[in-house]
Amino acid sequence: MAGDDVESLQTALRALGYYSGPADGIYSIETAEAVRRLQKSQSLAVDGVVGKKTADAIGALIYSDVPNDELMSVAEFAAAPVGPSARPVNPIIVVDIDARRLTVYSEGKPFKSYPVAVGKPSTPTPTGNWKIISKGVWGGAFGTRWMGLSIPWGKYGIHGTNRPSSIGTAASHGCIRMLNSHVEELYNWVGYGTPVKIISGGFGEIGYYRPNLSRGATGAAVKEVQCQLRDFGYYKGGLDGIYGYATEQAVKDFQKDNGLEPTGAVDQKTYDALGIVLAD
């Protein structure tokens, strides 16, 4: 047995400490032994075969194995009251490709976080500011739910999976995979037009706060401004997250053309005009 499914399994087993071999997509003796060790530790039938119970156990272990002290824990969320207060208000979704996490923000604050699978290096998940444009109850490889994204050059979305062992890895063709129980919860919280921010790179965590920016500033917010200015044709420099002369001049030109005071500094009105809803 060989293929992408086995490679995802090996990657997950290695992340959980049960496997130390290569993620080569070959179901070797070492891979089967790693599966047996996991099965034994989880009080499952020890047969070296990855059935539904073993796959679900791997997915659950990957979820619980990822620390995130700043966000609501699984236990805290389970104890939260059922009803309107248990739902995010004005939800915004942020997907961190490097951390392989999807975080739901409520009123600008982290509400709940999930582990996800993202695109492989050969088929990366597109970064940028998108929106949910379609929803559906699917099946098969796409799991139980689908939320399509407004990425114009392909069919990308957030969906479930029939390969729970791939969660926490770079395994997809560009979509964001979630455990079926997680995507069903998310599906009920979000609607058409919900903002989805997909980020990657060492520019810090992205939240709802939009800092005022001027020459000399650095960070994710600067990079986002540069990206938007470039898309509008005002900025020709690199997306380096450094607010230098070229960025300042591009901001001034944009402000002049959009009826704003041409200060060269980014304030909340400039963010609005640029269409930026999320920044560092």
Q: What is the mean pLDDT of residues 223-233?
A: 89
Q: What is the mean pLDDT of residues 173-180?
A: 91
- Predicted confidence at residue 62, as pLDDT, reads 60
Class of domain 220-274: mainly alpha
Q: What is the mean pLDDT of residues 176-182?
A: 91
Count Cβ atoms below 10 Å from residue 208 Cβ, excluding itself.
17
Task: Tell me which residue of 112, 64, 115, 63 sits closest to 87, measured CA to CA.
Answer: 112
Please tell me which residue, 178 or 222, carries the higher pLDDT value. Answer: 178
Please give the distance of CA 211 from its chain centroid, rounded to a whole number.
22
From CA 116, how far away is CA 121, in angstroms rounded?
15
What band does 209 get if pLDDT is binned at 50, 70 and 90? low
- Predicted confidence at residue 139, as pLDDT, reads 64
Beta strands in 20-166 (DSSP E): 92-96, 101-106, 109-115, 118-119, 128-136, 146-149, 157-159
74-199 and 220-274: identical CATH topology:
no
Please tell me which residue, 224 or 214, carries the higher pLDDT value. Answer: 214
Q: Which residues are catalytic?
A: 159, 175
- Predicted confidence at residue 267, as pLDDT, reads 92
Given a cut of 80, whether residue 277 has pLDDT beyond it is no
Q: What is the mean pLDDT of residues 76-103?
A: 72
Sign, CA dihedral 263-267-269-274, equals positive
Given a cut of 60, whether residue 53 has pLDDT beyond it is yes
- Predicted confidence at residue 60, as pLDDT, reads 66
Query: Which segment of 80-84, 160-164, 173-177, 253-257 scores lowest on mean pLDDT?
Result: 80-84
What band does 37 get if pLDDT is binned at 50, 70 and 90? very high
Integer angstrom CA distances of residue 86 from 79, 91, 106, 165, 196 = 10, 12, 10, 28, 20
Task: Tell me which residue of 115, 42, 110 sits closest to 76, measured CA to CA.
Answer: 110
Fold of 4-65: Muramoyl-pentapeptide Carboxypeptidase; domain 1 (1.10.101)
Q: What is the mean pLDDT of residues 141-146?
A: 81
Q: Is residue 165 within 8 Å of residue 9, measured between CB atoms?
A: yes
What band does 159 get if pLDDT is binned at 50, 70 and 90? very high
Q: What is the mean pLDDT of residues 53-60?
A: 76
What band does 78 get if pLDDT is binned at 50, 70 and 90? very low
What band does 29 get if pLDDT is binned at 50, 70 and 90? very high
3-class SS shares of the chain: helix, strand, coil, % to 5: 35, 20, 45
Given a cut of 80, whether residue 216 has pLDDT beyond it is yes
CATH 2.40.440.10 fits 74-199, yes or no: yes
Mean pLDDT of the chain: 81
- Predicted confidence at residue 84, as pLDDT, reads 42
Given a cut of 90, whether residue 165 has pLDDT beyond it is no
What percentage of residues in the chain have a pLDDT greater than 90?
34
The DSSP bridge partners found for residue 119 are: 172
Q: Is residue 117 within 8 Å of residue 171, measured between CB atoms?
A: yes
Q: Residue 5 is encoded by which pair of tokens?
A: 């499914």
Integer angstrom CA distances of residue 153 from 126, 136, 149, 174, 196 = 10, 20, 11, 12, 16
From CA 145, how far away is CA 102, in angstroms rounded?
16
pTM score of the predicted model: 0.52
What residue ranges do the domains of the chain occupy? 4-65, 74-199, 220-274
Q: What is the mean pLDDT of residues 30-35?
A: 93
Given a cut of 90, whether residue 205 has pLDDT beyond it is no
SS in 3 state form for 104-131?
Answer: EEECCEEEEEEECEEECCCCCCCCEEEE
CA dihedral defined by 7, 139, 119, 12, rounded to 10 degrees? -30
